[in-house]
Amino acid sequence: MSVVDNISTKPATDPRSTGGPISKAGQRQLPKLGEIRELLQFRPPTLNPVQRRLQAALSIEDLRRIASRTTPRAVFDYVDGAADAELTARRNRQAFSDVTFMPEALHSVTDPDISTTLLGQKISMPLVFAPTGYTRMMHHAGETAVARVAQRNGLPYTLSTVGTSTVEEVREAAPNGQNWFQLYLTNNEALNDELVDRALNAGFTTVVLTIDTSVAGSRLKDVRNGLTIPPTLTLQTFLDMSRFPYWWINKLTTPGIAFASLRDYPGSSADVANVLFEPGLNYEHLTWLRQKWPHKLLVKGILNPEDARRVTSLGADGVIVSNHGGRQLDRTPATLDVLPDVRAAVGENATVLLDSGITHGQDIIAALALGADAVMIGRAYLYGIMAGGERGVERTIEILRNEYRRGLQLLGLNNTTKIGPQHIHGLGQVNAPRS
């Protein structure tokens, strides 16, 4: 019972009605300093400003707000924004908000086991760091910092083809981590071969082929801010950036930002951008990759159940239900809405991940209840890195982990594996037999 439940609005005895002795509880007394001290628990002040603002962040939305104050507007918009009218991005969030849980009563939840097994590997909770390009633009600590946090927390990290660190640098930063490589197929076959070979040699365990980026999405904020390849910064963007001296000093005193894995490709960044994203991407490329890559292979950007069935029948170990966080084709369905059909199409043996819109531990529960094995987060950890570098990413995980664990407990579950459709109101029988 909470403290609030204990407070009664009625006096213990009502002196007017009984005429009896006045209750002690109703009598005034001199203030006792000891009681006030008990009520006010002063925390020692945190002198480090980064630490202080991270401690004050209680939700991913708090981290987002901090990030908007610590990072130049154009950079924040690049992360926060989505394609065209941003309809898909809003739908993603709405789908999670629309979920109503159905808890189970009277199961012990003393010490819930929030870990799970993904692609044959144990991970500490059903969460994977999604690939995000240009991470060192958000914060100079960049991809290697995220990979370190992932390793420390027993979670997989996915490095993007357009990351600002190489596979070798990530391996050095997180030699014992579960490191995955996300492949954007380019229109240069030799380069594709090289990218996959380097990931293999660096000990990466899983390749993620992204298929929803045959051409770049139309992110209007980036065009307006001039954050394009090559950059065409407006005067306003430049002036705004000058308000963030720390960001600039960090940028100017650390190695320049470039597509690290494509550094050796001849030409300017515009030339590199021209080979990126193969608009001719098709099933033959998937067959090529399946033959070339000896380990786990996931296809990212699946929304259509028939596509999911086909890629798994061609040998992919699983799919990532994703609309790229609403950054590619606008007006696609929310990923959560198509998840049950994708799961039904691929069956129980394939791995199904979901991303786009995860900002709360309970979103993870909703995704698992509707058929996912785990989720990926993109912006949630980028807000963390913008708010406080490596420690900010750590804070992202802390927040999501606490929310996820508490959500499980309040649902009456002591294990990740027990989450099922019966925990979504209207979808199943409560107390249905569980495996």
Ligand X SMILES: Cc1cc2nc3c(=O)[nH]c(=O)nc-3n(C[C@H](O)[C@H](O)[C@H](O)COP(=O)(O)O)c2cc1C
Active site residues: 324
Cα(117)–Cα(389) distance, rounded to whole angstroms?
29
Number of chain positions touching ligand X (CB under 6 A): 24
Give the closest residue to 212 by CA, choosing from 190, 188, 179, 185.
Answer: 185
Q: Which helix (H) or strand (E) holds 49?
A: helix 49-56
Shortest reach from residue 212's CB to ligand X, in Å: 8
3-state SS class at 112: coil
Q: Does 325 bind ligand X (CB under 6 A)?
A: yes
Tell me whether residue 140 or residue 327 sits nearer to ligand X (CB atom). Answer: 327
Exposed, middle or buried, 25 (CB in 10 Å: 0-12/13-18/19+)?
exposed
416 touches 113 (CB < 8 A): yes
Which range touches ligand X (CB under 6 A), out of 17-25, 131-139, 277-285, 424-432?
A: 131-139
Which range touches ligand X (CB under 6 A), out of 98-106, 226-234, 238-246, 322-330?
A: 322-330
Which range touches ligand X (CB under 6 A), out of 44-52, 116-124, 269-277, 379-387?
A: 379-387
Give the closest residue to 130 by CA, choosing from 354, 330, 315.
Answer: 354
Q: Among residues 276, 339, 358, 393, which is the contact residue for ligand X, using CB under 6 A?
A: 358
Please, which residues bridge with residue 157 across strands?
Answer: 129, 179
Tell me whether residue 85 or residue 432 sits nearer to ligand X (CB atom). Answer: 85
Q: Does 378 bind ligand X (CB under 6 A)?
A: yes
Tell me whether residue 65 or residue 104 sits nearer to ligand X (CB atom). Answer: 65
Under 8 Å CB-to-CB from 79, ≥6 apart: which residues? 67, 138, 379, 382, 383, 386
Tell me whether residue 78 or residue 247 sits nearer to ligand X (CB atom). Answer: 78
- Name which of residues 181 to 210 contact ligand X (CB under 6 A): 182, 210
Q: Among residues 219, 324, 343, 423, which is the contact residue for ligand X, using CB under 6 A?
A: 324
Shortest reach from residue 387's CB to ligand X, in Å: 15
Q: Among residues 64, 139, 251, 379, which is the contact residue for ligand X, using CB under 6 A?
A: 379
- Name which of residues 75 to 104 contact ligand X (CB under 6 A): 78-79
Tell me whether residue 355 or residue 390 sits nearer to ligand X (CB atom). Answer: 355
Give the closest residue to 273 by CA, choosing from 324, 325, 210, 229.
Answer: 229
Cα(380)–Cα(60) distance, rounded to whole angstroms?
6
Query: What Cα–Cα distance (Å) separates residue 26 from each residue in 14, 16, 367, 368?
Result: 9, 12, 51, 52
Q: Does 400 bind ligand X (CB under 6 A)?
A: no
Shortest reach from residue 233's CB to ligand X, in Å: 17
Shortest reach from residue 225's CB to ligand X, in Å: 13
Q: Does 72 bind ligand X (CB under 6 A)?
A: no
Strands 374-377 and 127-129: parallel
Using CA atoms of 169, 148, 156, 184 in order, give the dihedral in degrees to the nearest 10.
-30
Q: Among residues 151, 160, 164, 178, which is the contact residue for ligand X, using CB under 6 A?
A: 160
> Token pair for residue 400?
């999501």
81 touches 219 (CB < 8 A): yes
Residues that bind ligand X (CB under 6 A): 78-79, 130-133, 160, 162, 182, 210, 300, 322, 324-325, 327, 355-358, 377-380, 382
